[in-house]
Structure 1
Amino acid sequence: MARFRSWYALSISVLAAILLILRRDLKQLQTLSESTKQRQVFEDKMFLHHVRNDGVKSVISQRGRYMIYPRVFSSGIKMKSVEVAIATHSSYYKLRFLQNLVHSWEGPVSVTVFTSNPTKSLLLVTLLRKCSANIRNRVNFHFVVPFFGVSFSKPDSFADSEPNILRLLEQSSERVKQNLICHNLQSLLDSFGGFDNDYNESVEYPVNILRNVAWSNARSNFVVNIDVDLLTSAHGHDFLKSFLHNAKIPRKQAYILPAFELDMRYFSQNKDSFPISKSNLPKLIANNVAKPLYSKVCSECTDCNRYDGWLAGDVNTVKHEDIPGVSCMQYMVLPKSAPKFDERFEQFGYDRLSLVCEILAAGYEMEMLDNVFVTRVGYEDLSRDTLTVGENVFRQFITELTDRYPGGAICRQRIF
């Protein structure tokens, strides 16, 4: 009996040792598998073939988490330098908004696409450029690809629920592509509506990196930093181009763009009447189909803009005399040389407010534009939780401003 117990104990020990070895090997295999998936992004032959043939020089982001490919596609009309351009950003699925933005803004656009599947995004951008002369001629595309936390799927493998626009692109003849896809492009893109998050929870959306890539690659003297799902007001580019070219603008000057949000159904039913002018806004607000951006979810984010006074202002002027003078969530027109977005802010929350604070701390004056504004299609559902994302980083950021600028305490006094 003692010999049996000794043999049994030995067997249990050996079995435990084997299980530990198997567990270790399984973990190593899993790590290798994840590493292979990560590497596959950069073994994406179609995408790499395109960037190599076009001479695109990739760079690594400041914190080493993303690969940046500037000017994957350049605009068809070559411009050495222009007065003002839009700098924006998008995920793969939010590219569906680009046509509307480019329709409202008649100037150049620099857009950064964040993607975990570069070939898939390459195909979609190729389609957008083929179907839209405005996009082909006026938009520069840059790609940002995460190093970690991505899984790779071949561009011809889609989930059953995947919008079928790229499947049509791959399976259709050239004639069918033009007739079926291009003539119905926006309807096909609208099917992306339920797929806004094409990055998983382990990969944050590096919004300020994307903004800076678009900003740095905009060949213009001034940059309009807005999101891709916004529309500019009618003749916004012409107004700004003329004003910025002719006015005597101080070196440290920022211009604020009033921002509104619009009922999605109203926009869909009246799409042909867009973009709109300032004179259209009072009626839309009175009919409850337009309101200041964030007004329902974060009134303090927009109250500082004093929109009542702005709406009552002269529609024939460019600058509004009632300057906000406080920091809040604002879209701005800035000189190309102005301080950029702080890239520690990822996702949304304090990401734009941090730039407003730095602009003020750096001694920039702010004035609100009177006849140029932006509108988001669809009411913003920003949650209070979103507004607390990055709060710790923001507090650290504000502390650093006091060390970097003589006026660095300006936001601490106004916010905390």
Structure 2
Amino acid sequence: MMLRLKNHSVVALLVLTSIPPLILVYLTITANDCPVELLGRSENRTLQRIHDGYMQKIRQIQHQEKQIQKLRRKLSLAEMQLQGYQNGNNISGFGDNRTNGRCANNQLHVPKCQVIDIAIVCTGINATRDVVTVIKSILFYRKNPLHFHFIADVISQKILHHLFTSWNVAEVETSFYSSEKAKPRVSWIPNIHYSGVYGLMKLTLTEILPQYLDKVIVVDIDVTFATDVAELWKILNSLQGLKMIGLVENLSDWYLGLLPNVSPWPADGRGFNTGVMLMNLKKLRELNWMDTWRTVTEKVLPQHEHTQLADQDIINAVIKQHPFLVSRLSCKWNVQLSDNRKECSGDLSSYKIIHWNSPKKYNVKHQRIGYFRNLHQMFLEYDGNLLKREISWCNTTGSQSSQNNKINLTEINTDDECYDFRIERILEHRTHLYYLDYDLDYRPEEFDVSLVVQLSMDRLQMLETISKHWEGPISLALYIADAEIQQFLRFAHGSDILMKRRNIGYHLVFRDGQYFPVNYLRNVALRQVVTPYVFLSDVDFLPMHGLYDYLKKALSMMDMQSKSKALIVPAFETQRYRTDFPESKADLLNKLDLGDLFTFRFHVWPRGHAPTDYTKWRTATTPYTVQWDFDFEPYVVVKRDIPEFDQRFVGFGWNKVSHTMELDVLGYEFVVLPNAFMIHMPHAPSFDIAKFRSSSLYRRCLKVLKYEYQRDLSRKYGIKALKYLSDD
């Protein structure tokens, strides 16, 4: 069927084509309007009249040229609209294929295994915390495979990549794009929004995202989904003709110019909020989106000096000039909880996405805030392990890690009485690195050393005291459940001592399995150390005051570069919950003689630290070497690149003994430091030590694992490891 231009488009075309010949006729008729006889009377007057006549004609021509330019712009828009109508009827390849003459929306559906692409700008440590809740809410409702596209800085990419790799969610892929590469495209725009230059990154998605990606859903990190994201993808697929962007109207009064001390950028009415955005990247690229928003920005920026709402200001200014680009979505797809807002009407059950875009965030006042806050809190505390479910109707292979775990599971005999222990070895725990603020610019010294510890939530109170005793970097792994996150944040943010420290790396390892994965936690903390040396300790120990500086000095004098050495920090204990911590070795020896302190575990496990030779240490003034012996488990300072702890050992028993054994087979020299010490503080027995004491199966399985470790060590290192098989 032939398509026709609208009436105003036809008129514009006729006027445009008729103007040039009319101008030529006009010039021809008026070229001789100066009488010949006047030339003979006064040459000057004649020339002046001719000059004035031509100047008038020039002005008329210039005016006509301006009119022509306006008409050309109108004609260009008419042509674009015509092209859009053609695309909507499958004449051009601009849109999706449609069949029959029925309403396109009724024909739309999202295939069950259709991958849905979601783009998120996430930069900075704090942002990686917030985005997890967004992701949880999306995963909770989704029924389709997902592909998350993160525009991230270096630290965010490291955190999120490790999180998704360890999370191992079925049918979820991730891609990362450098925010540093996107910076030059927007850094020239002054922006006073708290997000800084990163708040402008969404403008660059047509260039930053891969060219094969035609469509994407873009969300901010402060939204909470209350429905399946596939519903939003369906709307994105329905954008017809020139509709390239789907947005919800801005519910605040910002762009109306009614707020005091606000000079808003141009917008169509209330404008649009860009916290949730549907983008047809293919159409935007064909429109030359990058040039379009740059041109508009260069025109508007001189009037406002800067953007106040980052990308939202610029996108609204573009829509103001080109309103045909946007498809208006229902407010239920972006229920904004901002100040000075218009309410989004409807039942609570009809709301699809909640947007916490008020500076007050979760403390914003709203008549339905209780419901919204409970929804957000649910995803904050929701067990992420429950979101790892596979989409059974999609025949995808899953991640390599998932496949490896399945293979390992088939190798474990389910009838083995130690099955529960063996399966712990292959568990990969979801891990969120650097959960709190950390100084990423820290540059360690040549002999710098980090304290490496692991803990569970019941030992959290020890962190403040340890921080008072150890001024250097700390890398800690915290074993935690999702439901305990807010408790941890309240504790950390409520501590002036911890908040002053930016050299503590908090790495959260989420609960999974029956036993405390002590060596898994140690390895997580060990891998994130940035200093050349590590002090391998436990959270129940307080290092002596000044130990950090003492160790750095000792390391510089011990020829650690050319020789493999493990420097031993002697361990003591107190059985009093409140005690005066010794200020020196002399003070410690005095308390030892008075019975206020004891050598560590002297009454239950003397073999663990007997080789330290406490008798010699009392009078030692220089470091001395000791020999390894069975069950030796000292706390040592070593190079960062040591072998990792064996993860088959969980809970209580042999987790440090096995590691010390491997250091010995590698030829490490054990050297006791004469003026260093640490003290174990009393605490209630852990669940795992209680199980060890009460369960014969626990003790039996630990003995089996111990034998298998010794056997594996001999296979790995050959004849020099045979001596470790002789102990029962």
Please state which band the TM-score falls in when normalised by the shorter chain. Answer: 0.5 to 0.7
Does 2:722 align with 1:409?
A: yes
Does 2:709 align with 1:397?
A: yes
Residue 465 of structure 2 aligns with an amino acid whose one-letter code is N
Pick from 300, 303, 312 the counterpart of residue 619 of structure 2: 312
- Measure, in 2, the Cα distance between the counterparts of 1:88 and 1:233: 16
Question: Compared with structure 1, are the counterparts of its residues 362 and 311 closer, same or farther at alpha carbon in structure 2 (3 Å cutoff)?
Answer: same
Number of equivalenced pairs: 308
Question: Compared with structure 1, are the counterparts of its residues 379 and 96 closer, same or farther at alpha carbon in structure 2 (3 Å cutoff)?
Answer: closer
Aligned residue runs from structure 1 range 139-158, under 5 A: 139-146=504-511, 148=512
Does 2:450 align with 1:85?
A: yes
CA contact (8 A) 1:91 1:115 kept: yes
CA contact (8 A) 1:231 1:376 kept: yes
- After superposition, the C-alpha distances for 1:377-414 in whole angstroms (9 at most, x for unaligned) are 1279667945947222111001111111142224334x
Once the 2 structures are TM-superposed, how far is the Cα of residue 125 of structure 1 from its aligned partner?
5.3
Pick from 378, 381, 388 the counterpart of residue 682 of structure 2: 378
CA contact (8 A) 2:535 2:638 kept: yes
Q: Tell me the residue number matched to 1:263.
A: 575
- After superposition, the C-alpha distances for 1:33-63 in whole angstroms (9 at most, x for unaligned) are xxxxxxxxxxxx9572499997222132882
SS at structure 2 position matched to 1:264: coil
Scaled by the length of structure 1, the TM-score of the pair is: 0.67
Q: Tell me the residue number matched to 1:297.
A: 604
- Measure, in 1, the Cα distance between the counterparts of 2:499 and 2:584: 21
Pick from 220, 230, 235 the counterpart of residue 531 of structure 2: 220
Residue 131 of structure 1 aligns with an amino acid whose one-letter code is D
Once the 2 structures are TM-superposed, how far is the Cα of residue 139 of structure 1 from its aligned partner?
0.9
Q: Tell me the residue number matched to 1:119.
A: 485
Q: Tell me the residue number matched to 1:207.
A: 518
CA contact (8 A) 1:88 1:211 kept: yes
- After superposition, the C-alpha distances for 1:242-275 in whole angstroms (9 at most, x for unaligned) are 22134322342111221100132442xx3xxx36
Pick from 323, 329, 336 the counterpart of residue 626 of structure 2: 323
Does 2:385 align with 1:279?
A: no
CA contact (8 A) 2:600 2:609 kept: yes
SS at structure 2 position matched to 1:254: strand
SS at structure 1 position matched to 2:646: coil
SS at structure 2 position matched to 1:350: coil
- Measure, in 1, the Cα distance between the counterparts of 2:134 and 2:584: 41
Once the 2 structures are TM-superposed, how far is the Cα of residue 124 of structure 1 from its aligned partner?
3.6
- Whichever of the two has the greater Rg, that structure is 2
Moved more, 219-228 or 398-407: 398-407
Question: Compared with structure 1, are the counterparts of its residues 364 and 132 closer, same or farther at alpha carbon in structure 2 (3 Å cutoff)?
Answer: same
- After superposition, the C-alpha distances for 1:98-130 in whole angstroms (9 at most, x for unaligned) are 1111111121101111011252354245425x5
Residue 138 of structure 1 aligns with an amino acid whose one-letter code is N
- After superposition, the C-alpha distances for 1:129-174 in whole angstroms (9 at most, x for unaligned) are x52157632211000013x4xxxxxxxxxxxxxxxxxxxxxxxxxx
Does 2:496 align with 1:131?
A: yes
Q: How much identity, in percent, do the aligned residues show?
A: 21
Once the 2 structures are TM-superposed, how far is the Cα of residue 80 of structure 1 from its aligned partner?
2.7
CA contact (8 A) 2:450 2:475 kept: yes
- Measure, in 2, the Cα distance between the counterparts of 1:122 and 1:48: 16
SS at structure 2 position matched to 1:300: helix
Question: Compared with structure 1, are the counterparts of its residues 380 and 222 closer, same or farther at alpha carbon in structure 2 (3 Å cutoff)?
Answer: farther
SS at structure 2 position matched to 1:102: helix
Aligned residue runs from structure 1 range 232-243, under 5 A: 232-243=543-554
SS at structure 2 position matched to 1:111: strand
- After superposition, the C-alpha distances for 1:175-228 in whole angstroms (9 at most, x for unaligned) are xxxxxxxxxxxxxxxxxxxxxxxxxxx621100011111111011111111111
Does 2:643 align with 1:339?
A: yes
Question: Compared with structure 1, are the counterparts of its residues 251 and 68 closer, same or farther at alpha carbon in structure 2 (3 Å cutoff)?
Answer: farther
Does 2:132 align with 1:48?
A: yes
Question: Compared with structure 1, are the counterparts of its residues 222 and 74 closer, same or farther at alpha carbon in structure 2 (3 Å cutoff)?
Answer: farther
Question: Compared with structure 1, are the counterparts of its residues 276 and 242 closer, same or farther at alpha carbon in structure 2 (3 Å cutoff)?
Answer: same
Question: Compared with structure 1, are the counterparts of its residues 123 and 379 closer, same or farther at alpha carbon in structure 2 (3 Å cutoff)?
Answer: closer
CA contact (8 A) 1:362 1:408 kept: no
- Measure, in 2, the Cα distance between the counterparts of 1:286 and 1:243: 27
- Measure, in 2, the Cα distance between the counterparts of 1:351 and 1:361: 16
Once the 2 structures are TM-superposed, how far is the Cα of residue 346 of structure 1 from its aligned partner?
0.7
- After superposition, the C-alpha distances for 1:290-332 in whole angstroms (9 at most, x for unaligned) are 0011111112222222111111212xx4x2x252432412111
- Measure, in 2, the Cα distance between the counterparts of 1:336 and 1:394: 25
Pick from 435, 456, 460 the counterpart of residue 72 of structure 1: 435
- Measure, in 2, the Cα distance between the counterparts of 1:74 and 1:105: 18
Q: Which runs of 5+ in 2 are unaligned?
A: 1-128, 136-149, 168-400, 402-425
Q: Tell me the residue number matched to 2:363.
A: none
- Measure, in 1, the Cα distance between the counterparts of 2:557 and 2:428: 42
Residue 400 of structure 1 aligns with an amino acid whose one-letter code is D
- Measure, in 2, the Cα distance between the counterparts of 1:236 and 1:245: 14
Residue 97 of structure 1 aligns with an amino acid whose one-letter code is M
- Measure, in 1, the Cα distance between the counterparts of 2:708 and 2:541: 30
- Measure, in 1, the Cα distance between the counterparts of 2:604 and 2:684: 8
CA contact (8 A) 1:361 1:410 kept: no
SS at structure 2 position matched to 1:86: strand
Moved more, 296-305 or 357-366: 296-305
Moved more, 335-344 or 115-124: 115-124
Once the 2 structures are TM-superposed, how far is the Cα of residue 97 of structure 1 from its aligned partner?
0.4
- Measure, in 1, the Cα distance between the counterparts of 2:508 and 2:515: 16
SS at structure 1 position matched to 2:461: helix
- Measure, in 1, the Cα distance between the counterparts of 2:683 and 2:427: 35
Question: Compared with structure 1, are the counterparts of its residues 281 and 257 closer, same or farther at alpha carbon in structure 2 (3 Å cutoff)?
Answer: same
- Measure, in 2, the Cα distance between the counterparts of 1:356 and 1:380: 26
Does 2:166 align with 1:60?
A: yes
CA contact (8 A) 1:233 1:278 kept: no
CA contact (8 A) 2:573 2:598 kept: yes
Q: Tell me the residue number matched to 1:183.
A: none
- Measure, in 2, the Cα distance between the counterparts of 1:248 and 1:224: 17
- Measure, in 1, the Cα distance between the counterparts of 2:723 and 2:499: 42
Q: Tell me the residue number matched to 1:354.
A: 658
- Measure, in 1, the Cα distance between the counterparts of 2:613 and 2:134: 48
Residue 716 of structure 2 aligns with an amino acid whose one-letter code is R
Does 2:288 align with 1:288?
A: no
- Measure, in 2, the Cα distance between the counterparts of 1:353 and 1:219: 25
SS at structure 2 position matched to 1:60: helix
Scaled by the length of structure 2, the TM-score of the pair is: 0.39
Once the 2 structures are TM-superposed, how far is the Cα of residue 370 of structure 1 from its aligned partner?
1.4
Residue 245 of structure 1 aligns with an amino acid whose one-letter code is S
Question: Compared with structure 1, are the counterparts of its residues 87 and 135 closer, same or farther at alpha carbon in structure 2 (3 Å cutoff)?
Answer: farther
Residue 502 of structure 2 aligns with an amino acid whose one-letter code is N
RMSD over aligned Cα atoms:
2.9
CA contact (8 A) 1:103 1:134 kept: no
Residue 429 of structure 2 aligns with an amino acid whose one-letter code is Y
